[in-house]
Structure 1
Amino acid sequence: MIFVAKNIRAARVNLLMNDYAAGLPSPLSFIGLADAIIRDLGLTSWSGRALPILHRVEPSDGRTKPEMENKSGSFSPVETMEDLVGSVDLSLILDIPECDSDTDLSGALMRRRIAGGLIQNDQVDVTVPPPDGSAFKGLRRGYAILPPDPARPDACAISTGDEASFTGILDTLFPDERKPGSGWFVPVAAGYHLLEDPDETPARIRRRDPNIPHVFAEPVLGLAELVSVRNPRLTGLTEAGLSSLLWSWTVEGDYLFGHASYLSNATHKENIVHG
C-alpha cells in the first residue's frame, strides 16, 4: 500500500548532506524517517521506502558570528554558529509494509524530525492513492527527488572523493545540453562506504542501539534528479515504475546505498561480508 503525506512543514532541517553535497535535505533522511515511523508502529525495521517531493526549501541565514560572553576578563563564545539549516515544505510518498491505516501513519508523523528538523504541522493529511502515477495528482507544484536511472550509467556514478570519479559526476551534473523532459541533476548523499567489518567492531559505548554495531564509514557522493510532479514521466508511471523510484536501503559488500541504482558503480575496496 502506498501512502501520500501532503504539505508537511519542517523547521531547522539540516541541509548539509555529507562532505560533498549541501543545499537540500538528504534523500537518506527520508528513509530514516520511514524507519522511525516503523519503529513507532512496532513493524519490521529497515523495510520502509520513501520518495520526497520538495515544494519549498528556504535556507536560514543564521548567525554570522557566535554570541560572546565575558568570562574571567576575556570574551569567549557561548554558542556555536549555525550550520546550513532551513525551512522545508514537502510531501512524501511512503511505503510502510504491514501498515494499512492512514490514521495511524498520520499520527506517527506528528512531531517527528526530518534531517533533524521538527515537523511543524498540527495535523498531517495522509491519503491512500492508487499505487501508480496517480499518487502525484493533486499535489502542489514541486520536484520529486528521484534516484538515478539505471539505464544511464553516467547518472549512477558515485564518488568517495577521488579525482577521476569526482570529475565524472561533475560532467553529468553540468551537461552541455539537457534532453527534453529531463529534470535537473543535483549532488546528493548516496550512502556510505564501510571502513570496518560490522562483525568485528568492538562494542563502543554510548551507541544508540545495543543490537546495532557502531561502524566507521566514509560518505559517498552520487547524483539524483529533480523532476516536476507535473512531468508525464511521473504522472504516467505504472505501479512497478513508481515502486522502482522509492528510496530504500540497499547493502552490497562494504557499501550501504539509499537506492539500488548506485550498485552498478560500486567498486569494492574490501571483501566485507555483512551479518
Structure 2
Amino acid sequence: MIVSTPHLLVLPRLRIQNANTISSSMTWGFPAMSAFMGAVQALERNLPDDIRIVFNGVGVVCHHIEPQVTEGGFTRAFHLTRNPVDKTGSTAAIVEEGRAHLDVTLLIGIESNGDDLGSAERRRDIAHRLFEQVQGMRVAGGSVMPPLSDATRQRPELISFDDDEDRRGKQWRRLKRRLLPGFALVLRDDYLNEHTATLKVEDDSATALDAWLDLCRLNHECRIETQQDKEGQAKEVAKWEIRRPYPGWLVPIPVGYGAISELFAPGEVANARDPAVAFHFVESLYSIGEWVSPHRLRTHDALLWFVENDLERGVYRLTNDYALTHSEND
C-alpha cells in the first residue's frame, strides 16, 4: 500500500536554457532524474528560515525540448562551444557537451515540519517565494530563464490534498489539466525484470543487460509467409515487422550509482570534492523509463521519484512507484 504525499508544490513551465542532455556515458536526450533531484535538494538546503517544510520526492513533466544538434540526415552532432585559449596561448581542447533547451514543470512532494500548511494564504505565499527562488538557480546544469508571462497556467501552487478520496481525486484531475500538453518520465523496472525472465527462457545465458539493450532499440524481424499468386501458385513472401515487447514510449535511463570499490574514509582519497565525506568509486546504474501523458496517471504519487539508497550494498539510486500504482488500479 502506497502512502500518499499530503502536499504537492507545483513550479510550472520553467524555461531551462542549455540543460545537460547527456544523462550518462550510454544515454542522451533528457537530463537524468538525479539532476532534478539535486536541484530540489539544493532548493531545500536554501529554504528561508521561516519556511518549515521537508521535501519528499520530485516529478518532472516535460512540455517542450529543443536539443542543440545539427538538423538533417541520419547523423547528428551537438553544437559545441569554442572555449578561450589556454594560459600558453594555445587553442583549448574541445570537450563534447550536449545541451538542450527545456520547458518543464517541477512537482515536489512536501511534508510540514511545523509550518501551517492548512492555511491557503500560507501555501500561496510559500509557493510564490519558492518559485521566485528557483528562478536564480541552475537546474540540470542549465539556467532558469524568466517566465514569458504571468498567465494563470504559469502560477505556482502548493496543493494540500484532501483526506477524502473523492475530493483528492478531483484535485488531481484539476491539476492534470494544467500539466497538458506534456509527458512525465516514470520508472519501468517491472518491464526490465519481466523481459529478462523472458529472454532467459529462450537463452539461459541472457542477462539484464541483454534485456535492457533489447528494450532500448527497434527490432526489425523478417517473417516468411506463404501466399498465392494470380495463377493460384503458392509462393513465399518475406514481410518485415517491428517487434515491440511492450507498448508505450520506452527509453533507457540512468537511475543512480553503484559502488565498484570499498568505502574510503574521509580524506583518504586525494582530490576528492569534499575531503570531510567518505568516498566511493561508483558507476552508473541503468533501467527502463517510460514517457507517460499526465492524464493517464491515476494519482500524483505515480510521477514522483524518491531516493532509495542501500548503504550496505553501496547502491545510491532513485525509484518511482508508477508500476506499483498502475498495477494496484488495474
**TM-score, scaled to structure 1:** 0.74
Gaps of at least 5 residues in structure 1 are 158-162, 262-275
Partner in structure 1 of residue 176 of structure 2: 136
Partner in structure 1 of residue 107 of structure 2: 93
Deviations 1:124-151 (A, max 9, x none): 7311346564332222311101122648
- What are the equivalent positions in structure 2 for 1:211-222 lying under 5 Å apart? 212-222=277-287
Structure with the higher fraction of residues in helix conformation: 2
Which of 174, 183, 192 is the equivalent residue of 2:248?
183
**TM-score, scaled to structure 2:** 0.63
Query: In 2, are the aligned partners of 1:69 and 1:76 still within 8 Å (CA)?
Result: yes
Q: 1:33 to 1:171 in 2, by over 3 A?
A: same
Tell me the C-alpha RMSD between the 2 structures: 3.7
| Alignment pair present for 1:125 and 2:155 | yes
Partner in structure 2 of residue 172 of structure 1: 215
| Alignment pair present for 1:105 and 2:146 | no
Deviations 1:44-84 (A, max 9, x none): 99954111111111111354684686998xx9423625411
SS in 1 for 2:36: helix
SS in 1 for 2:130: helix
Deviations 1:153-206 (A, max 9, x none): 33799xxxxx83221112233472376xx5311111111001234464544566
- Structure 1 residue 213, shift from structure 2 partner: 2.8
2:64 counterpart letter in structure 1: R
Partner in structure 2 of residue 26 of structure 1: 32
Greater C-alpha Rg: 2
Q: Percent identity?
A: 21
SS in 2 for 1:170: helix
- What are the equivalent positions in structure 2 for 1:122-271 lying under 5 Å apart? 122=147, 125-129=155-159, 131=161, 133-134=172-173, 135-148=175-188, 150=190, 153-154=193-194, 164-174=207-217, 176-177=243-244, 182-198=247-263, 200=265, 202-204=267-269, 207=272, 209=274, 212-230=277-295, 233-234=296-297, 237-238=298-299, 242-252=300-310, 253-259=313-319
SS in 1 for 2:111: coil
SS in 2 for 1:18: coil
Q: How many residues of Structure 1 are paired with residues of Structure 2 in the alignment?
A: 247
Query: In 2, are the aligned partners of 1:156 and 1:223 still within 8 Å (CA)?
Result: no
